[in-house]
Structure 1
Amino acid sequence: MNRTPTIAGWLSALFMGLGQWYNRQYAKAVLFMAVYATGLYVAFAVLPPYLKGLISLGDKGVHLEKVGKISRLVPGDHSIFMMINGVLALLVLLVIVFLYVLNIRDAVTVGRRRTQGQDSSKLNNGLFPWLLLAIPFLGVLFFTVMPIVFTSLIAFTNYSSPNHIPAKNLVDWVGFSTFHNLFNMTGWSDTFVGVLTWTIIWAILATVTCYFGGILVALLISQQGVKFKGFWRTLFIIPYAIPQFVSLLIMRNMLNEQFGPINQYFRAFGLGGLPWLNDPFWAKVSVIVVNMWIGIPVTMVLVMGILTTIPRDLYEAADVDGASQWMKFRNITMPFILFATAPILISQFVGNINNFNVIYLLTGGGPATVNYNNAGETDLLVTWLFKLTIDFKQYNIAAAVAILIFLFIATAAILLFRRTKSYQEEDMIQ
């Protein structure tokens, strides 16, 4: 039995690069040795203070010290900066460990190929893809993973106003206390349940109305007797072409209870105006209708493209069998549309759960209510999270809500997507 892979693996485990040197890959060996030497210095000389700070989150904040008869302000530990630096240090340590494992795996793999008689010069090509992927990998790690980890850790601290805001005050680890308060303290739990309920209702209604509204408009435009199809397509796509925040701010002014044009038209005909954005019921109706105005064109464009791909033979066969328009829609048109748009439908549902723009720009989460803690009647979880962070500085509660949003969306998206026919057929093909 050839021992080359085993020897190369143990040499790389002893010191990064030795296995590559044993495999006669000298350039790669020097690179791994340099990385290992740098990694050892960073791991034992640079990172320990930051990792210790991540555990302790500081010993003393900004404070006054008396020197003689003079008191001076002395800088202290900043818990949040220490947490950020600690998370970065932890990620750097994980990168070093990853490179160490990669070095062993590479040495063993190349050793096995050598035993098979492959040319040593060709074995060096395996490093090139890793070098190309290194920059995007590090970018994702430090600009995507790091903020997610940092936000998640905030949920396990008492980082909130007024008593635990650095730099004057320190932040402490509190375990699952934040989640306990969110689910058990009346003020927080009632708000969370109420906002979550409206978020789910909103996501379902916003998705269903835009989806089936888009299908209806696409079918109407695609009818053979309809003239000027290009004009109608252009007309319905204009709301989507205009920047969303512009449309929402215009609609907010139009729905103003006192000065909005819509209520002025009502009054001109002798009708009383409606509190579109000031009444809980009408505010919810308003955001759903305005969202339809913005979202229907997206589905319409998708469906119109799908309708052109449905074989005409199916409709001709249905006509021969005497099928009605409803039967053709139910058995031919709708299955084709669902098969092609089911993943997009799920994406729209997930997007509506986090639809910050429509709610925040149209109602600001209002109208206000005394039943909720720092939230309004139309606030979604994402807008409530924004208020908790920006307006009220309840960072730990906001982080806990963010984790729950992620878990809910990820679970719902995975379960719904796996039940779609397009996913099941793709899985069968593979």
Structure 2
Amino acid sequence: MGLGQLYNRQWIKGVLFLAIGVLGWYFFITDLAESIRGLITLGDQAGGLVKVGKQFKRVEGDHSVYLMIEGLIAFIVMGIIAFLYTLNVKDASQTGKLRDAGKDIYSFRQTLTNVNEKYFPFIILFLPIIVTIFLTVLPLVFSILIAFTNFGGNNLPPGKLVDWTGFKTFLNLVQLKTWSRTFAGVLSWTLIWAVIATVTTYFAGILVALLIEQPRVRLKKLWRTVLIIPFAIPNLVSLLVMRNLFNNQFGPINDYLRMFGLQGLPWLTDPFWAKITVILVNMWIGIPVSMILVCGVLTTIPRDMYEAAEVDGANPFQKFKNITMPFVLFATAPILIMQFAGNINNFNVIFLLTNGDPVNPKYQYAGSTDLLITWLYKLTLNNQEYNFASALGIIIFVMIATFSIYNFRKTKSFKEEDMIQ
């Protein structure tokens, strides 16, 4: 690295590339090679107490998780060095072609000027890209790799070493009865919840927007302001208040039901009613969002289309079906897809309202209202089942990415944008 520039008599550039190459080889020999080996083996000796004679001596062993992180960092550094080496070869090749053609080669100052003119955006973006790789890509890859190990439960470093297990964690999710029952139950409820939560908030938002936009309705701004308040209040506050309102013992809602001679309902302690409760509360929070979006779309629909439909004898339902709804769907279909994907990962409503409860004795570390995302949270922070949590994270990502990409490409707004491009 750098010898091509020295051969072409570009001394400063050659020395710089040579220094980078020498440093790269030095770090590879002294550190990077060992770090990559640690990523492959995940350690040779576990830490702990070893009996020496009549006494126990603490031995500092390998920490598999640290070795995995160091190995990933080593791969990233090697990738950066390989990228610089590619630039070095390309630069030497281009300079050699100029010499063969009998043209003058760039001096170091001319090279800097040329790079600044042609590649200034890339130079500015280089540092943010490096930071993104280390702070975003590295943790993402690390969390994915955890799913292919036995890191979790009683197998925690430094007391024990972590081993690569391939797809065993994913197989256990569907083969072991305790895990497969929980996975199937939580997955089915997650999909049911996502569909119901999306449909109810979306179409109820359309209904509210249509009612507000009726010509005979006065004080439209006031109604919009009042109905947007649930969205304006932070979800944390709203959900904690709702949790107290629906409390079975001292909640005001059950108190009012008893005042009318009715029995209080087990809003948060019965599995069925707990699911009904989270759906109702989600409607309270989500309808204002859809209402505002649809109100904006309704203002863009040309009035002459409605007038022409009235001349043709169309009734209100036909105007809604053939004019209003196509316009609304065209403008909000991508947002509808995003809402469905967001409801699959709707952590706040479930965790803050029910904490995934009531407890289900047939489930492994999950409650009756837990979604995949809240189950993942419990597996990670409460039970230290990191490999199963990582596997769930991968499954959630594949589900959402597949659904979102497929359905977004099917929307008319995407197809028309693609035709324009």
| TM-score, structure 2 as length reference | 0.91
Aligned-residue CA RMSD (Å)? 2.4
- Asked whether the equivalents of residues 23 and 111 of structure 1 are also in contact (C-alpha less than 8 Å), the reply is no
Match for 1:53 among 30, 38, 62?
Answer: 38
Percent identical among aligned pairs is 56
Match runs of 1:169-184 below 5 Å? 169-184=160-175
For residues 161-190 of structure 1, give each alpha carbon's deviation from its aligned partner in whole angstroms, at most 9, with x where no partner exists.
Answer: 12x111211111111111111111111111
CA-to-aligned-CA distance 1:32-58 (integer Å, 9 cap, x gap): 444434333323332111111111111
Alpha-carbon distance between aligned partners in 2 of 1:267 and 1:238, rounded to the nearest angstrom: 29
Question: 1:413 Cα deviation (Å)?
Answer: 0.8
Shift of 1:27: 7.1
Residues 127 and 409 from structure 1, CA distance in 2 versus in 1: closer, same or farther, beyond 3 angstroms? same
Number of equivalenced pairs: 413
Picking from 157, 175, 179, the partner of 2:149 is 157
Which residue of structure 2 aligns with residue 384 of structure 1? 375
Letter in 1 for 2:257: F
Normalised by the length of structure 1, the TM-score is 0.90
SS at match of 2:199: helix
Letter of the aligned partner of 1:283 in structure 2?
A
1:63 maps to amino acid:
G
- Give secondary structure in 2 for the equivalent of 1:226: coil
Q: What does the per-residue CA deviation read over 1:269-315, in whole Å, with 9 as the maximum and x for residues that have no partner? A: 10001001111111111111101111111111111111111112211
Residue-by-residue CA offset, 1:124-174 (whole Å, 9 max, x unaligned): 222322221112211221111111111111111111112x11121111111
Q: Secondary structure at the match of 2:166?
A: coil
Whether 1:42 and 2:23 are equivalent positions in the alignment is: no
Q: Which stretch of structure 1 is more off in the superposition, 402-411 or 61-70? A: 61-70
Q: Which residue of 2 aligns with 1:209?
A: 200
1:370 aligns with 2:361: yes
Distance 2:32 2:398 in 1: 31
Read off the aligned partner of 1:71 and give its amino acid letter. F
Contact 2:2-2:13 at 8 Å conserved across structures: no
Structure 2: any 5+ residue segments left out of the alignment?
none
**How many Å apart are 1:205 and its aligned residue?**
0.8
Distance in 2 (CA, whole Å) between partners of 1:348 and 1:334 is 18
Provide the rounded CA distance (Å) in 1 between the counterparts of 2:6 and 2:118.
13
Alignment-derived partner of residue 9 in structure 1? none
Q: Are the structure 2 counterparts of residues 316 and 38 from structure 1 closer, same or farther at C-alpha, using a change threshold of 3 Å? A: farther
User: Which secondary structure does the structure 2 equivalent of 1:159 belong to?
Assistant: coil
Q: 3-state SS of the aligned residue for 2:49? A: strand
Change (3 A) 1:384 1:106: farther
Q: Is the 8 A contact 2:5 2:13 kept in 1?
A: no
The verdict on how the C-alpha distance between 1:103 and 1:416 changes in structure 2, with shifts beyond 3 A counting, is farther
C-alpha distance after superposition, 1:196-216 (max 9, x if no partner): 111111111111111111111
Establish whether residue 189 from structure 1 lines up as the match of residue 174 from structure 2: no
Tell whether 2:313 aligns with 1:322.
Answer: yes
In structure 2, the residue corresponding to 1:398 is in which secondary structure?
Answer: helix
Distance 1:245 1:30, change over 3 A: farther
Unpaired runs of 5+ residues, structure 1, are 1-14
The verdict on how the C-alpha distance between 1:416 and 1:109 changes in structure 2, with shifts beyond 3 A counting, is farther
Are the aligned partners of 1:211 and 1:296 in contact in 2 as well (CA < 8 Å)?
yes
The one-letter amino acid paired with 1:78 is: H
Residues of 1 paired with 2:217 and 2:94: CA distance? 65
| Corresponding residue to 1:148 among 125, 135, 140 | 140
Distance apart, 1:249 and its partner CA: 0.7
Contact 1:20 1:107 in 2 (8 A): no
